[in-house]
Structure 1
Amino acid sequence: MSAMRYLLVAVIAFAAAMAGVWAARAWRASPAHGEGQIHQLLHRDMTLDSRQQQRIAALEARFAQRRAGLEAQMRAINGQLAQAIEAEHGYGPRVAAAVDRSHLVMGQLQKETLQHVFAMRGVLRPDQAARFDATVARTLTDPPSPAP
């Protein structure tokens, strides 16, 4: 194999690795944007009674545990992706399989996040739910703030 071909394979592998890193960072950054606004609404801007606070705290604790598990799975898959890129030096079957696994876990996290949001909404009074709905809609449509 010529030196030029080795260079091309190295550049492709590097680009694939950077794409994986970018995707992982985007995946991790986007929930924080929405969660921050929803968390602020629930805990600072909205007057919740003590029963509502207790129920939401329990929901948040359960979800935090589940999210941590899914994030651990994503880290493991990212390690598998890195190994596959190292082994294949291109978009081969191992790389494709790792990408597919990461998409499944990201999709599961998105589904469970939405279930969590709806569970918290179920704790609210109708007037609170209307404000909550508006905040959720805004977090889904507003671009995240640029990182400092």
Structure 2
Amino acid sequence: MTRRYLLVALVAFAASLAAVLVARVWLAPEPRVESEVHRLLHERLSLDPAQEQRIHELEAAFAVRRAALEAEMRADNQRLAAAIAAEHGYGPRVGAAVDRSHHVMGQLQKETLQHIFAMRAVLRPDQAAQFDTAIVKALTQPAQINR
């Protein structure tokens, strides 16, 4: 009888872990806004050398911060996996791990927007108008699910 409960708990844990991984890998939207912004800045706008330099500096600084936040999200995934392994269900540790993960994801989103606005401030008014159009388009297009 104990063996049966252990098997059920193991299967439930594996299913929970698989669901988390599927959600993170397949269902999470691609960073399409950043891709569109990057393409616009470097391929379609005619930036002068001073703008190119300032944008490059902003991108380099943000890359460091983004990497740090992504490392936090990976650590959050490990904490979530440990909580799932310990609780075998949606208990207080799992809930806290999910909340922490959402906090870091939200921080990344906020800092990404701050980065986007910092780059926008480097642009001339005509460039800023194209930039705004690209941002709105990227944010309002339906999400694509990778299959």
Q: TM-score, normalised by structure 2?
A: 0.88
Q: Distance in 1 between matches of 2:85 and 2:57?
A: 43
Q: Distance in 2 between matches of 1:94 and 1:147?
A: 30
Is the aligned partner of 1:21 residue 2:32?
A: no
1:134 aligned residue: 133
Consecutive unaligned residues in structure 1, runs of 5 or more: none
Contact 1:88 1:94 in 2 (8 A): yes
1:80 aligned residue: 79
Structural RMSD (CA): 2.0
Cα distance change, pair 23–112 in 1 and its aligned pair in 2 (3 A)? farther
- Residue by residue over 1:11-54, the C-alpha shift from the partner in whole angstroms, topping out at 9 and shown as x without a partner, is 44334323322343344x432x2211111110011110000000
Q: Distance in 2 between matches of 1:103 and 1:7?
A: 31
1:69 aligned residue: 68
- Residue by residue over 1:79-121, the C-alpha shift from the partner in whole angstroms, topping out at 9 and shown as x without a partner, is 1111111111111111111100000000000000000000000
Q: Distance in 1 between matches of 2:59 and 2:80?
A: 31
Cα distance change, pair 138–44 in 1 and its aligned pair in 2 (3 A)? same
CA-CA distance at 1:147 after TM superposition: 3.9
CA-CA distance at 1:145 after TM superposition: 4.8
Is the aligned partner of 1:49 residue 2:48?
A: yes
Q: Distance in 2 between matches of 1:19 and 1:141?
A: 27
Q: TM-score, normalised by structure 1?
A: 0.87
- The one-letter code matched in structure 2 to 1:84 is A
Q: Distance in 2 between matches of 1:118 and 1:141?
A: 18
- The one-letter code matched in structure 2 to 1:123 is V
Q: Would you identify which runs of 4 or more consecutive aligned residues in structure 1 move more than 2 Å?
A: 1-16, 22-27, 143-148
Q: Distance in 1 between matches of 2:82 and 2:101?
A: 14
Query: Alignment length, in residue pairs?
Result: 146
- The one-letter code matched in structure 1 to 2:52 is Q
Is the aligned partner of 1:143 residue 2:122?
A: no
Q: Distance in 2 between matches of 1:104 and 1:37?
A: 25
